[in-house]
Structure 1
Amino acid sequence: MTGTVHGSPAGGTVGGQAPSAALAGRALGAPLRGEYDVAVIGGGISGVQIARHAAGRGLRTVLLEKVDFGAGTSSATTKAIHGGLRYLEQYDFGVVAESVAERRFLAIAAPHLVQPRSFLLTAFDWSAPKAPMLGAGVALYEAFAWNRNTGVPRDIRSPRFRWVGRRNLLRRAPILSPDGLTGAWRHDDTLNLHPERLLLALVHSFTADGGTALNHAEVTGLLRGADGSGAVTGVRVRDSLTGETAAVPARTVINAAGPWVQQALGGDAPQAGVRVQQAKGVHLLARDMGLTDSLYVRGRNGRHVVVSPWQGRTLIGPTDTPSAGSPDDARTEVEDVQLLRETLDSISARPLRREDVTSTIVGVRPLVATNGDTYSTSRRFTITDHAQQGLDGLFTVTGGKWTTGRAMGAQVIDRVIAARGSRLGPTRRFDSRRLPLSTSFGDYGTVAAAFDAALRRVPAAPVPQAVRLHLARLYGTAHERVLALAEADPRLAEPIGPGPDIAAQVVYAVTDEGARTLADVLERRLVIGTLGPVPEGALRQAAALLAGLLGWDEAGIRAEVEAYRGRLDADRDVLDEVFAR
């Protein structure tokens, strides 16, 4: 069984200090116990892919995340697995080539969560570069992806790029202003339908290979050798839910905490000299604007914006602006919304209104530190071996992006194994390029055939076909576990809110996916919390289910609901202020 939560404490002690029962009991995969070959800090896409490749190479690995898997930057995305067409403008051909290759590998690994999406690269008579130059750029981009359909299921393969004329474009994208519009180049990238679920699928693949994954486990500093060498021998961990602490010994520590790389090292950060450039990315979640494809447009202010149809809604963004201070404090601000509004309004048939926008999404990208602006900074990653700073056994990874996470994970572990040698013990080969994730469906030839087979699983579960399809897409083969819960207790087939989510998903989130808070469940296990403000009834329904599973009393329920509602209220206040101007 992949990703099982072990409900009892692991045996033994950890670094001479027994972990709390809560911390050990939350471990996904192997129990938390003993010394590790590798401890990875950070449960975003970078940390998860690094941990996955460490376990795949046969190394005993623990993954530690301070909040929840994907709770930071990795869930605040444009929902795209893309090669980065705009990086051609920056002559960053290496990132583009790697990205289009990795896009294909993700489609092979998880075709139930990754699917084609057409993008319309729009051209106005006032915009630069002009349409012919844009076409040349798209042609070059397509040349990098010459084998984009090799090994990909037949029904999610991408067609070649083509020109879309003005009249046809306005039918596809009625929000565009016809003033000066000449047309668009249509090309295909890939939709990351539910980044939170794809990340969890990667976590399950990691644990299936023997890894241990822990959320709500904040790394607060490093363990150092008692022999005076200063070598790193593990990490100090604080249970974010109980406040208890533990020591987790590890031969090698890889710091992949994204914008939190400095905080994770505690008092050792100055010695390590870790530096990251933060870029805040804000998206608006708006009503359905009638788009059939994603728009990639440059506004009159020179900024790019992607406008995408997604789950019956429209996603607008991102911003890409410098961010200072703690990433914990990152919030959508009036200036962020105003920038997106200004960019979109400059190419729209009508201005964006308050009633169009339901909520915002914010994340902080951990870019490689340079002296340039965040908008043009490369999305490459760097890995630093801190042995020269007297921190032998510590590595830090900065930069990177969702699309190239697999390649980054493989390259980081190759580098660590080369540097650490016999101190890590024997390793094995592991090639993840064409490897399906542990919960992906088998080779059905097409995704549609896989879903058709899934609809016939656990036939006694009282769940309609639309919900079965929803579960198959979210969970892959693990959807049968969710259906089995509904079969055993028909009350768990009841919907959570107005969408296709059901109560059984809440139970499964706790028992098999490590969820421990209302936000964990609504925003990163189910879909309802990603679609805008959760209705009050659904909020309380989910909280009541969690209370029974996690032992919350009335005060605990109230605290969780109020904390969740507080974030929604702050978001609403910013939107109200912007559109009142």
Structure 2
Amino acid sequence: MIERDPQRAASRSYDLIVVGGGIMGASVLLEAARRGLRCLLLERDDFGGATSWNSLRILHGGLRYLQTADLGRFCESARERRWFCQYFPDLVRPLPCLMPLYGKGLKRLTTFGIALATNDWLSRHRNVGIHSDLCLPNGRVLSVAETIDEFALVDRQGLQGGGLWYDVVMISPQRILMEIIRWACALGGSACNYVEVMSLLVDAAKVVGVNARDRISWRGHEFHGDAVINCTGPWCRSLVQPRDGNRDKLFQPSLAFNLLLNREPVSEAGLAIQSRCPASPVYFLLPLRNRILAGTAHRPWTEDVSYSQPSGGDLDAFIADLNSAVRDLRLTRGDILRVYSGLIPATKRGSTRLAKRPVICVHSQHGGPRGFVSVCGIKYTTARLVAERALQAIYGKRCYGTDGERPQTENRIRLEDADGMLSVDDALLAEELKRLVKQEAVVYVDDLLFRRTGWCDDPKTEQRVRGRIARHLQLDGGHRIDSDSR
């Protein structure tokens, strides 16, 4: 249970305070709790409400890293993908991925075949300890006929075959993040959303806690802890002193966005597509509940990090790229159902060249206070591993985690999409809503609809969902859930 009680949380002392409740902060909280640390997570908005909510949903095993012979990143990604399969088997599934091959560069059949064989050999332990339903087969090169059979709209001019491999897709990224926080709280951790950290508390050049404000009651609180890990992504500089020598190496924002398209999937596989234009990027088309999720497009970002939406021109350019890669799609901006956008780290501000390594900054080494670390992760897949390394930066390698199963949530209606909640009877829905609101720190209706469930993932059923919810939850003047419903 995630108990949102800032006043009670402020009455305790902690070994570690985690600032930021995206996948990076949630992972740090879990790894800290697994190590027996008294830990608290504070998030100024709702858990997973920024970039983490806008994920393309793929847990990559690292095939792309073979292109640059980055075996370290490959092995890390394959290992962490397996971790998600091991602990969240109900929230992930295998994803066949297909790339059409046209006989040029890395798209030669022999070259891609070698890459697939290398991928399978280097990840040969990927299915150890994994449920049979989640085991990933070896990849292979498909014939022209097989490729067309899998992807009927493929550009057939010059087509020589296709490369087929397997990754993992998250059924519900928001549920995974919430289950990570629930797991941490079951191990003794604490988490409060809508609590904004305003500044560090420092005594004798050492962090002793944070000064924060409850954004619901607007009361101020001091939270005392021996160490603070800053996981606030694009906002990370707000807690870092201007004289800190490593300040400029922290998160440099770049815009990334995905589009949910009002089109039926063109393949059961995730499609890696690319236009014939020189240096054009590779995009993925994923089947998502009878729609297409397309991504990821990247644009430079020099604006305020509090706003991260692509412009109309950005959307048109992405649509044009997709139409160039799959000519028979004939997409227009009117086909866009939802834009998922967020800021991810680049090598420098105003660039789309993405960071290749996470940043773990121990601020005491650069003029900052002792016990303060900032973490900038780069992938949902490897967030847990980066969290582990961030803890080691404070506590050393002696800080090992304990094994243990994730506590199961007894959901009696399906949370991943709207089908279950629209068909269940009123009595059961009311009971489950009350349980969710109470156990998962739900404050606003959108917390429930977007970040505890996937009930509004499809905009076409959103109004029906909101109508049913409104009949069962009392709203406090607007979108906030009345305390009687909690």
Flag the 1:296–1:165 CA change in 2: closer, same or farther, 3 A.
same
Query: Which SS does the other structure have where 1:276 is aligned?
Result: coil
Give distance in 2, aligned partners of 1:298 and 1:359. 22
Give the equivalent residue in structure 1 for 2:392.
Answer: 414
Secondary structure of the corresponding residue to residue 244 of structure 2:
helix
Match for 2:231 among 232, 256, 260? 256
Give the Cα–Cα distance (whole angstroms) in 2 for the partners of residues 376 and 87 of structure 1.
14
Q: String of CA shifts for 1:82-102, please: whole Å, max 9, x gaps.
A: 123323333332111100111
Q: Which of 200, 209, 213 does residue 234 from structure 1 map onto?
A: 209
Q: CA deviation at 1:117?
A: 0.8
Aligned counterpart in structure 2 of residue 513 of structure 1, from 440, 447, 466? 440
Residues 352/330 of structure 1: CA separation in 2 closer, same or farther (3 Å cut): same
Q: Which one of the candidate residues 297, 306, 309 is aligned to 2:273?
A: 297
**1:357-372 alignment to 2 at 5 Å?**
357-367=336-346, 369=347
1:59/1:537 CA distance change after superposition, 3 Å: same
Residue in 2 that maps onto 1:381: 358
**One-letter code of the match for 1:508?**
R
Evaluate the alpha carbon distance shift between residue 4 and residue 73 of structure 1 in structure 2; reply closer, same or farther with a 3 A threshold.
closer
Instruction: Please say which of residues 529-538 and 183-192 is displaced more in the overlay.
Output: 529-538
Q: TM-score, normalised by structure 2?
A: 0.89
Cα displacement (A) at 1:341: 1.5
Partners of 1:505 and 1:335 lie apart in 2 by 43
TM-fit CA distance, 1:414: 2.0
1:529 pairs with 2:453: no
State how 1:96-111 maps to structure 2 within 5 Å.
96-111=74-89
Unaligned runs of 5+ in 1: 10-22, 26-30, 420-426, 441-453, 458-466, 494-501, 561-581
Amino acid corresponding to residue 69 of structure 1 in structure 2: F
1:385 maps to amino acid = V
Determine the structure 2 residue equivalent to 1:356.
335
* Distance (whole Å) between structure 1 residues aligned to residue 470 and residue 142 of structure 2: 48
Q: Look up the SS of the partner of 1:340 in the other structure.
A: helix
- Partner Cα separation in structure 2 for residue 325 and residue 90 of structure 1: 32
User: What is the CA deviation profile of residues 231-252 of structure 1, one whole-angstrom value per residue up to 9, with x for unaligned ones?
Assistant: 2211111222333221111110
SS at match of 1:243: coil
Q: Does residue 136 in structure 1 map to residue 111 in structure 2?
A: no
Q: Is it true that 1:283 corresponds to 2:258 in the alignment?
A: yes
Looking at secondary structure, tell me which structure has more helix per residue. 1
Could you tell me how far apart the structure 1 residues matched to 2:392 and 2:336 are?
45
In 2, Cα distance between equivalents of 1:133 and 1:358: 38
What does residue 491 of structure 1 align with?
426
Q: CA deviation at 1:35?
A: 1.5
Alignment deviations for residues 53-74 of structure 1 (CA, whole Å, 9 cap, x no partner)? 1111111100011111111111
Letter in 2 for 1:271: D
Q: Is there any run of 5+ residues in structure 2 with no aligned partner, and where?
A: 482-486
Residue 552 of structure 1 aligns to a residue whose secondary structure is coil
Whichever residue aligns with residue 415 of structure 1, its letter is A
8 A contact 1:83–1:95 mirrored in 2: no
Q: Is 2:221 the counterpart of 1:246?
A: yes
Q: C-alpha deviations, 1:451-485, integer Å up to 9, x for none?
A: xxx9xx9xxxxxxxxx85x35x78xxxx9xx9xxx
Secondary structure at 1:282 match in 2: strand
Q: Is the 8 A contact 1:119 1:296 kept in 2?
A: yes
1:430 counterpart residue number: 401
Contact 1:505 1:526 in 2 (8 A): no
Change in 2 beyond 3 A, CA 1:212/1:276? same
* Cross-structure match for 1:552: 476
Aligned residue runs from structure 1 range 112-261, under 5 A:
112-125=90-103, 129-225=107-203, 229-261=204-236
Q: Contact 1:281/1:320 (CA < 8 Å) preserved in 2?
A: yes
Give the TM-score of the pair, scaled to structure 1: 0.75
Once the two structures are TM-superposed, the CA of residue 41 in structure 1 deviates from its matched residue by 0.8
Deviation at 1:181, TM superposition (A): 2.5
Q: State the distance in 2 between where 1:535 and 1:154 align.
A: 35
Identity of matched residues, %: 26
Rounded to whole Å, the distance in 1 between the matches of 2:377 and 2:317 is 24
1:6-61: CA deviations, max 9, x gaps? 6xx5xxxxxxxxxxxxx347xxxxx5532111001111111111111111111110
What is the CA distance between 1:504 and its match in structure 2?
A: 4.5
* Cα contact 1:40–1:256 (8 A) shared by 2: yes
Q: 1:192 to 1:537 in 2, by over 3 A?
A: closer
By how many angstroms is 1:170 displaced?
A: 2.3
- Aligned partner of 1:88 in structure 2 is 66
Q: Do the aligned residues in 1 keep the contact of 2:302 with 2:350 (CA within 8 Å)?
A: no
SS at match of 2:49: coil
Deviations 1:243-290 (A, max 9, x none): 322111111000111122113x17x35536422121211111012223
In 1, are the aligned partners of 2:361 and 2:374 still within 8 Å (CA)?
yes
**Contact 1:178–1:349 (Cα < 8 Å) also in 2:** no
- Comparing 129-138 with 206-215, greater Cα deviation is found at 129-138
Name 1:542's counterpart in structure 2: 469
AA at the equivalent of 2:19: I
User: Could you tell me whether the CA contact under 8 Å between 2:97 and 2:270 is conserved in 1?
Assistant: yes
Contact 1:123 1:131 in 2 (8 A): yes
Which range moves more in the overlay, 207-216 or 139-148? 139-148
Counterpart of 1:54 (choices 26, 32, 50) is 32
Query: Partner letter of residue 162 of structure 1?
Result: R
Cα 1:312–1:83, aligned 2, differ >3 Å: closer, same or farther? same
1:160 is displaced (CA, Å) by: 0.8
| Contact 1:359-1:533 within 8 A present in 2 as well | no
Taking a change above 3 Å as real, the CA distance of residues 385 and 376 of structure 1, as seen in their structure-2 partners, is closer
In structure 2, distance between residues paired with 1:87 and 1:506: 43
Instruction: Give me the whole-angstrom Cα distance separating, in 2, the residues matched to 1:358 and 1:174.
Output: 24
Deviation at residue 512 of structure 1 after TM alignment: 0.8
Once structures 1 and 2 are overlaid, which stretch shifts more, 536-545 or 189-198?
Answer: 536-545
1: CA distance between counterparts of 2:195 and 2:159? Answer: 51
SS at match of 1:242: coil
What does 1:259-338 align with in structure 2 at a 5 Å threshold? 259-263=234-238, 265=239, 268-271=241-244, 273-274=246-247, 275-286=250-261, 287-301=263-277, 302-338=280-316
Going from structure 1 to structure 2, the CA distance change for 1:411 and 1:377 (only over 3 Å counts) comes to closer
Q: What residue identity is the alignment partner of 1:386? A: H
SS in 1 for 2:211: strand
Corresponding residue for 1:5?
3
Residues 503 and 185 from structure 1, CA distance in 2 versus in 1: closer, same or farther, beyond 3 angstroms?
farther
> How far does residue 353 in structure 1 lie from its aligned partner after superposition?
2.9
- The more displaced of 46-55 and 135-144 is 135-144
